[in-house]
Amino acid sequence: MIRAALALALLLPPFSAAAQERVVSLGGSVTEIVVALGESERLVGRDSTSTEPETVRALPDLGYLRALSPEGVLSVRPDLILAEEGAGPPGTVELLQAGGVPFVTVPEATDAEGLARKFAVIGAALGVEEQATALAAALTEELAQVAAEAEGRTPRRVLFVLAAEGGRILASGSGTAADAMIRLAGGVNAVQGYEGYKPVTDEALAAAAPEVIVLMDRGAADPEGEKDDAKAIAQLLSQPALAATPAGRAWRVKRMDGLYLLGFGPRTADAARDLAAALAE
């Protein structure tokens, strides 16, 4: 699996990875992987979702991942741009790709195979293929251990809430990073029948009957956000439809950092294990 991912990574546009000493990283998990590979000293800029590890916050913030400007990205004079799939807007990406700076798109991942490919693409771009292969192999093994630990447990029905404001609850259906993480942790997504993140009605919440609710904390990416977990959970359960669910009645709500939980980077196995522990409580 990892060899196949590395082969895909080698299809990158030709350039000397060793010569790229001014790297811009766009995407929180991409930046985490660059650091995990021991290449943090080459970073000269990052997007606003790149907040971990804490040391990268000292780098110039070039804007939100999906609202970048070519002038902002090029202002730090990069000689390599690593961009998470979905970076944008499309016009900015097209201009950057057409410029003279090598632009590498890093594919999204929601499973071990995707993570291996993600590591391989970044490792090839930076010229550290061996380190990337080793880290991906270790992560794949950890994820297998998490899956093994979850075997035998009764799967809990889990509702992932992306946002809940003014009575409007945005929850994860299938085909999302949240759905994938719930499955990695041995749970079952309580919401079925649609893909992506969509508003759910009170009736749909009652039918979903989640046993655990997972709430995202945007962490350092949202400095104005609520930092107190207890307050954030109380605010969430002030919504009558959520309070009436089995999870709401028992206050079984787990709040987790968004990048940690959904980034699918070097910390994914730890996040899956933490979520699995919360589901088992």
Report cis status (omega within 30 of 0) of the bond before 89: yes
Across 191-220, average pLDDT:
91
Between 224 and 39, name the one with better pLDDT.
39
- pLDDT for residue 9: 37
How far apart are the C-alpha atoms of 37 and 32, rounded to whole Å?
Answer: 9
Which of the residue ranges 55-64, 107-116, 227-236 would you say has the lowest mean pLDDT? 227-236
Q: Are strands 197-200 and 212-217 parallel, antiparallel or unpaired?
A: unpaired
Burial of 263 (0-12, 13-18, 19+ CB in 10 A): buried
Across 229-238, average pLDDT:
91
Cα angle at 91 between 85 and 94, to 5 degrees?
65
- pLDDT for residue 168: 87
Q: Give the domains, in start order, of the chain with CATH numbers.
A: 2-147 (3.40.50.1980), 157-280 (3.40.50.1980)
Give me the chain's average pLDDT, please.
Answer: 90
Residue 213: helix, strand or coil by DSSP? strand
Closest C-alpha among 95, 61, 100, 98 to residue 78: 100
How far apart are the C-alpha atoms of 230 and 221, rounded to whole Å?
Answer: 20
Neighbouring C-beta atoms of residue 143, cutoff 10 Å: 18
